[in-house]
Amino acid sequence: MAKEKKLPYVLIMEDDCKPQENFKEIWPIIQEWLQKNPEKWDMYAGGNRYYSYHPNELSSIKPICSIDNTIKLYYTKFVSAQFYYLNSSAYDTIIEWEEDMNKNNSWIPIDIWPDVKKMRIITSVPFITVQEKDYSNIENTERDYTDGFYRNEEVLNTIENNIQC
């Protein structure tokens, strides 16, 4: 629908998305940067837990810049589709995911598809959202991934990012 309506961006917040205390203050700043730099990204994740599960892949983290020395932006890999902001450059890739699922009866979670397709994924530190304890359709049980988000945020904090936006 976003592609049909030619929307430049679309925000997806799942029902288990939990905004952090800093959300109202930080999200508008990040959103403004993203909208001024659409050529640099396909997807923004409000928080994710990839590196808490893949600590040997830190070389895939690339600093982009730091906004006012308080918000640091990084290119990262992605897991946990609870809050993501899509650039129109990502629409065809997301549509391809849905078509692939329907056509080939394969099931690659939306959490993994952006990395499979090598999308330009940006994550900020501090995280503005985490995933609340809830039922996981992927794992068919109730799961609490919150600690993975906090561990991942700590990992990203160890990557130097002094480039000013």
Q: Give how many domains the chain has, as a whole number.
A: 1
Q: Quick check: is 165 in a domain?
A: no
Note the pTM of the prediction, 2 decimals.
0.89
Q: pLDDT value at position 141?
A: 82
Residues belonging to the chain: 165
Neighbours of 146 (CB within 10 A): 15
Q: What is the CA radius of gyration of the chain?
A: 15
Q: Quick check: is 129 in a domain?
A: yes
Judged by DSSP in three states, 100 sits in helix
- Full residue range of the structural domain in which residue 31 is found: 9-157
Q: Quick check: is 1 in a domain?
A: no
Q: pLDDT value at position 138?
A: 66
- Give, for all 165 residues of the chain, the pLDDT tens digit: 999 999 999 999 998 999 999 999 999 999 999 999 999 999 999 999 999 888 889 999 999 999 988 999 999 998 888 999 999 999 999 888 878 777 766 667 777 777 778 899 999 999 999 998 877 766 778 888 889 999 999 999 999 999 999
